[in-house]
Structures are given as C-alpha cells and as structure tokens.
Structure 1
Amino acid sequence: MTTRRRAALVTATAALLSAALAVPAVAAPRPGTGHDATRRALHATVADGVPGVTATARDAHGTWSATAGVGDLSTGRPRSADDHYRVGSIAKTFVATVVLQLEAEGRLSLDDTVDRWLPGLVRGNGHDGTRITLRQLLNHTSGIANYTADEEFGRRYFTADGFFAHRFDTMPPRQAVAIALRHRPDFAPGTSWNYSNTNYVLAGLVIEKATGRPYGEEVRRRVVQPLGLGSTSVPGTRADLPRPSSRAYSKLAETTSGPTYDVTRINPSIAYAAGEMISGSDDLTRFYTALLRGRLLPPRQLAEMTTTVPMDDRTEYGLGLMKTRLSCGVTVWGHGGGIHGSTSEAVTTRDGRHALAFNFNGDWSGDVEAVVEAEFCRE
C-alpha cells in the first residue's frame, strides 16, 4: 500500500499480521450513479500490481458494485461483487461494538482494568494489567506490545518457508498475549498511541469472560444476525473461504518483487479477535451504515466509540473506529485491515448516508487511500 501513515497503519494491520496479471475484467455494475472516478481508481490498483479488486458503495442513488482484475491468476476468472474475503482488522469494529453493548447492559465498564477481567494475564516485563483499562485496549493507548511485530512470529508466518510449514497451526489467544509480553511496553498506559493487535486479542478474551461464551458467538448473536449479514462469519480455525470467493495472494516477503504465492487457505486463529473475520463488501457497507446511524449502540456508547485520539495530521482513532479527513474536506469513519493475501477497507460518512467497502486479493501493492478519495471526493 502507499500513502503515508494511514497506509502504513493498514499495512501493519494487514500483517496481522506482518509484512504478469491477466487483462482486467469488469463486472456489470449494479444500479447507481456517479462512480466513474472510483471505477478508474479500481483499475489503477490492478495496473499497480493488485491481482483483483471488488467494491460496493451505498449512497442516495442506491447500491453500486464493480470489480477489476482477476480472482484467480491461474484461470483468469474475474473477481465477483459477491466475493467473501478475509477482512483482517475490520473485525476490531465488530469486537469494540460488542464490548460497548456489554457496557450499555451494565455488565462491564470501559474504566474496568484488564486485570479485573483477566487476572494476572497482563503482567511482567513492564506490563501491568492493573493499570490498563478496557478503553485503553479499544483505542490503542494501552502501551501493550504488538505480538504480530515480534520477529519470531514474522519468520513463522510471513516468510515463505515459515508460512507453508505453519499455515494450519492453531494459536490459542493467550499464546499471542505471551508473545507480546516478551517485549517491553511501548509506553506507559494512556500516555501515547500505538496500534497493537494484542489489545483486541485481550478484548476478545474479556468478552468471553464477561459472557461465558466465545467472542465469535457474541459477534454473531449481537451484530451479524440482527443485521442479516449473510456473508459475515467468525471462522475460528476454519481454513477455507465460503463461496463465492477469490484466491488470495502474497509475496511472503518485505519486497514487492519475487514469486507470488497463493495463501488463500490459512488457519486464522493467529488473528483471533484482532482480525480473523470473513465478510463481503455489501455486508460491510450495511454494518458501518447501521453502526453510525445508532442501530447497534445507544447514544452514550456511540459517543464513546466516536471519541478519538490523534494518530497523525489527518487520522484519529476512537474505539475500534478510525476517523479520517480526506483531501476534499469530507470526513469518513471506518477501519482498514488485512491478513495474508487480503487488504480491505470499509468507511462511511458520520450520518451513514454514504458508505464504501472494498478488497484487494493481494497484500503487497495498491493505493487504498486513492480509492476512498475517488469515491468521496468525486463532486
């Protein structure tokens, strides 16, 4: 991905973990108007090296979907507007929503410490769960080290040799926390900001402790089923994607050159609540629209979610939700994410009237910000 800190963040999230195309094919667009700039941006991502892209937008004119490039490099099969794909850290918004629902029900408080729910788990090497709140987990101000930035983790899951040896391993969430605790904290709790997937692994464990049920079951019961999100799932250890879907590709290296590997099948437990979920572009636009319109959270909790801390000069982070000011002055809310072979973005305006979600089935190139700018700054 390109474009300064915003892209760097999404790339890091995509590294949930990290690190000759066919002629582009375009799906017949669904009803909608005014998306020519977005269509050009989709084609530009393919020209930049992404195998294929699928996108859906919702606005006052209805729903519009388009694709470019291919979903399978070996056959040339085009991408589908109905593709399922791994959404990576977009899952964080779903998880934060569940935590905030539990707060609204009086079952926990954002001011609770991590140690209140997970006694003794976050302790050692400078970490202290008695000084970290649930709010600090959700807005990445906890200072807890990011387990996916661990060098050994990177070698195991983001190099070709390591990936193909370990792609089907199951990683329990407490193991991910233990990896993070090998490192010193990034900063004292509440004194700065740094993106850490460990925060949301812990948030998933808190949901399970507070409810007595797997966090994925709570996501399904509280968000997926009420909104009728038929393409959205929490796969656990399931390695395959539901159909329809495209293949997912990675270089499994820090460079954009070299071999391209098919990394579609993977046990996503290495991401757990930080990014294991699967969804589709239509579902994601409906989710973020419903969320920002207040269908999932009471006003107080939505206000908490949209209370932000600065990331850079254009982007702020709330509770599982990013706020980004575009070059044309429009502000969008949402999240980006990625995992092996998959880079995704989903955003909407604060009133929920204009939403966009899209996915690249490659993780080494493509300009996410350019697609978002094309859609929301088109007038």
Structure 2
Amino acid sequence: MVRKISEALDAAGAAAADSGAVPETAAGQDRPELQKAIEEIVDSGFVGVSLRVHDERGEWVGSAGVAELSGTAKPPVNGHARIGSNTKTFTATLVLQLVAAGKIGLDTPAAHYLPEFGLDERIMVRMLLQHTSGVFNFTGEVNADGTIAPGIPIPYSTTGKEWVDNRFKTYRPQELVELALSKPARFEPGTGWSYSNTNYVLARLLIERVTGRSVAEEMQRLILGPLGLSGTVVPDASPEIPEPYAHAYYRYEDAGEQKTVDITRQNPSWVSSGGDMISTTQDLHTFISALLGGKLMPAGLLAEMCTPHPTGIPNMDYGLGVFVLTTDGGGTVISHNGAAVGHAALMYATPDGSKTLTAALNCVDDADLSIATAFQTAQRRLLNEVFGGGQVDPAQPTG
C-alpha cells in the first residue's frame, strides 16, 4: 500500500506573506485560473491549499479553504508545512555538495563510510540517492503478490489509534536502518528501482560521518544559510512547527467511533531525512530555483542530479533526489513532492529553474489514504495549469 501510493503527492509583500495575508497584487484576480484550480482542489477534499507560481508573468500567490477545521481564516500563503519527501531533494543536494568538496565519492561503496551496518559492498552512494540500492524501505513494502511486508508502525500501515497514541515517539536513524537491513533486499544493487526512505536515512548518516556535524548543522551551513531560507527547519525529533501554519489532521476509529484529531504537532523522527523537514512555499521556490540555476553545485554534478534513470513509471524517471517528468507536450519538469500526515507540499520547476510551482496543502489524513486520489488529481491539475500537463511524481505519504 505504501509503495503503491509512492508510485502513483519585496518588503511589504514579504511582510504580508509572513502574516498570512494575501498581498493585494497577488490575490488571485490577475490569474483567475489559478485561484479556481486551488478552490476546486479544496472542493475535492482538502482542508486548505496555498499556491505560489513564478513564471513569465511574474509571481502569483494565493490560498483557498481554511487553515483549521474550526475556523474561517484561509491558510497563510507563506505558512510553514511539513514537506515530506521534498526533504530528499535537500538531502541529495547536501550529499552532492560534499561530493564537490571531495569528501564523498558518488561511486564509492556506502559501506566505506558506514562500515558498522554491513551494507552490501555493491551499493554505491549514487544508488542511495537514486533509489537503486534495493534496500528495504523501513516504512514498509508491497510484495509482488500484493501482500504487505511491514516496517515500523506508521500512519498508513497500522491502526490509527496506535499511531496517534505513539505520535511523539522518537526513532533514531540507526534504529531505522537496522530494521530495514534485517529484511531481505528487494533486488541486487543497481539492477532495479524501488523508492525507499532507508536510502535517505543512510545518506543522512553518511553526511554526519564525513563532516562530524549533524545534518541540521550541515544543511544550515551549505543550503539554508547561503540561500536565506529562514522558514525552513530540520526538526530531528522535535514535534514543534513554527507559526504561522495551517493545521494537519488525522481520522481514525476508536471503539467503533470515528475520531478526528489535530496532529500538527508530531515527532517526525519516524521518517527521519526521508521526509522530516518543514518549509514554506517561498523557501521551496527559492531553493529549487537556486538549485536548478546552478547556485548550489558545479554544473557537472547538477547534470548528474537531473539525469533520468528509469523507474518503470511512464514519463516519470528519477535522478539523484529529483523526479524528471516528461509533460504531454514533450517538455521536462524537475520535481519532488511529499506528504507527511495531514500536510503535503509540491515543488516543480523547469530544468533551468526559471519557472516554478510550489504549494502547501493541509488535509484530514487516515490509515486508508482516502485523500490519495484527490492528492494525485490536485498535482495533475496544477501541473496542467502551469507547465502544460504531464505525469505527477509519487508524493510519499510516508515522507
């Protein structure tokens, strides 16, 4: 189930955005098609949506729906959201920056840096970023016969009450890796493609091993600080999220009764660097635009990052921490989306970073992934509006 969904998610203006108010010049009147699109996404089942588009017509920001179920205020247009698997693009960028600095070799066995796990010596660092290592996904896998190979208890593979009652539990990265490595590999290293959060927890540990600093410190030093991404957080095990934000919800059954709880505060360590970060639509725009504009790594490494590797999904390949999508018109879009239990984030850009679409969504999530179809439809609708159509990348419900 988890894997199936993962393959199918200027000063006055800035001040207004930070306060959650929609700037008058970007209130949706000049781009009614974008405002209509996000309103229809809310109608499909989301609590709220905030959208930011940068293209040849300039910047547009808007929101629809509400920030919380009990209120009437719209979601803040630059509010904080848990960005799920968009985290992977940040982590991959950090690894590639360390490759550029000569501290990591892309085609060096990961076991060279992390000998304590007994990793298959054929697993290169590149395979971690590309999801071609074959390592089991600690959040669970779907076998070829449709049966579930469970991992840790997560919101989508356990009873809802169990996850709600334990949503502040702390998992350490080593614990997640050890659980994954206790399971059979999905395939021989380099012979297939399988989306696995374990790859990116290994990448986190690799970063920390070669630098002697935490991934949060390295992220601040090499990405967040230089780009001024003041709204982006690497939370580790902290359940807190900075204000302003739209609320995240989870619905579950307890003793035959349906309950909906606010789970905006939750410990994201269960997915670690596979999907734990918090950001804003402005910061995601700044990041993906700078990344693809060549400001974060040498051109050669950026080209490798965006080189498509087949995933088995039509028009949807994977590079190193990014999806490489082919639109209906034959164009290319670089993307990563993500979901993190009641929150989701979208991040799309042209290969040169000149046109971007970033969005944050909040919803009522549940163990049955009832929002999944609406999420995929929302991605497709926005991609059509801004980039002329195409496939959508698999927004991970597990990060």
TM-score computed with the length of structure 2 as normaliser: 0.83
1:9 to 2, 7, 10: 7
1:198-230, CA deviations, whole angstroms, 9 ceiling, x for partnerless residues? Answer: 000000000000100001111111001101111
CA distance in 1, matches of 2:25, 2:180: 45
Alignment partner, residue 120 of structure 1: 116
| Equivalent residue number for residue 19 of structure 1 | none
Aligned-partner SS, 1:177:
helix
How far apart, CA to CA, are the structure 2 residues paired with 1:307 and 1:208? 26
Cα gap change, 1:155 to 1:268, in 2 (>3 Å): closer
Query: Is 50-59 or 329-338 further displaced after alignment?
Result: 329-338
Matched, 1:332 2:333: yes
Shift of 1:343: 1.6
2:33 matched residue in structure 1 = 37
For residues 182 and 30 of structure 1, do their structure 2 counterparts lie closer, same or farther at Cα, with a shift above 3 Å needed? farther
Q: Hey, what's the Cα distance between the residues in 2 that align with 1:289 and 1:372?
A: 17
SS at match of 2:333: strand
Question: Per the alignment, do residues 232 and 262 of structure 1 end up closer, same or farther by CA in structure 2, a change over 3 Å counting?
Answer: same
* Residue 153 of structure 1, CA deviation: 2.0
CA gap of 1:55–1:336, structure 2 versus 1, over 3 A, is same
State the AA in 1 paired with 2:219.
Answer: V
* Match in the other structure for 1:75: 71
Offset at 1:155? Answer: 5.5
Flag the 1:313–1:296 CA change in 2: closer, same or farther, 3 A: same
- Asked if 1:65 corresponds to 2:61, the answer is yes
Residue aligned with 2:94, SS: helix
Contact 2:137/2:180, CA 8 A, preserved across alignment: yes
Please give the residue correspondences for 1:1-379 in structure 2 after superposition, counting only pairs within 5 Å.
8-9=6-7, 27=22, 30-31=25-26, 35-121=31-117, 123=118, 128-149=119-140, 151=150, 153-154=152-153, 159-251=159-251, 259-311=259-311, 312-362=313-363, 363=365, 364=371, 365-366=374-375, 367=377, 368-377=379-388
Sort the Cα spacing of 1:109 and 1:160 in 2 relative to 1 into closer, same or farther, 3 A: same
The separation in 1 between residues aligned to 2:258 and 2:295, in whole angstroms, is 46
Q: Which runs of 5+ in 2 are unaligned?
A: 10-20, 141-148, 366-370, 390-399
Cα distance in 1 for partners of 2:125, 2:61 equals 37
> Structure 1 260/330 Cα, relative in aligned 2: closer, same or farther at 3 Å?
farther
Tell me how far 1:251 sits from its aligned partner: 3.1
Residue 131 of structure 2 contacts residue 194 of structure 2 at CA under 8 Å; is this kept in 1?
yes
For 2:33 and 2:124, how far apart are their aligned partners in 1? 43
3-state secondary structure, aligned to 1:179: helix
CA distance in 2, matches of 1:207, 1:336: 23
Could you list the runs of 5+ residues in structure 1 that have no partner in the other structure? Answer: 12-25
Give deviations 1:119-146, integer Å, cap 9, x for gaps.
031x4xxxx4311000000000000010
> Tell me, what secondary structure is at the counterpart of 1:110?
coil
Cα distance in 2 for residues equivalent to 1:35 and 1:64:
8
Say if 1:152 and 1:333 are closer, same or farther in 2 by CA, change over 3 A. closer
Identity of aligned residues (%): 37
Give the distance between the partners of 1:10 and 1:314, measured in 2 at CA: 12
Tell me, yes or no, if the aligned pair for 2:47 and 2:362 is still in contact at 8 Å. yes
- Native 8 Å contact 2:139 2:154 kept in 1: no
Given that residues 314 and 326 in structure 1 are in contact (C-alpha distance below 8 angstroms), is that contact kept between their aligned partners in structure 2?
yes
- Partner in structure 2 of residue 18 of structure 1: none
Structure 1 residues 338 and 237: CA distance shift in structure 2, 3 A: same
CA RMSD of aligned residues (A): 2.4
Shift of 1:354: 0.5
Shift in CA distance, 156/348, structure 1 to aligned 2, threshold 3 Å: closer
Residues 167, 53 of structure 1: CA spacing in aligned structure 2 closer, same or farther, 3 A cutoff? same
2:155 and 2:341 in contact (8 A); partners too: no
Change (3 A) 1:35 1:134: farther
1:77 shift after superposition: 2.5
Q: 1:374 to 1:260 in 2, by over 3 A?
A: farther
Secondary structure of residue in 2 paired with 1:153:
coil
SS of corresponding position for 1:304: helix
How many aligned positions are there? 353
* Residue identity matched to 1:260: T
In the alignment, the residues of structure 2 paired with residue 318 and residue 65 of structure 1 have an alpha-carbon distance, to the nearest angstrom, of: 29
State the AA in 2 paired with 1:235. Answer: P
State the alpha-carbon separation in 1 of the partners of residues 387 and 87 from structure 2.
23
What's the offset of the Cα at 1:28? Answer: 5.4
- 1:299 and 1:69, CA in 2 relative to 1: closer, same or farther beyond 3 A? same
Distance 2:317 2:268 in 1: 28
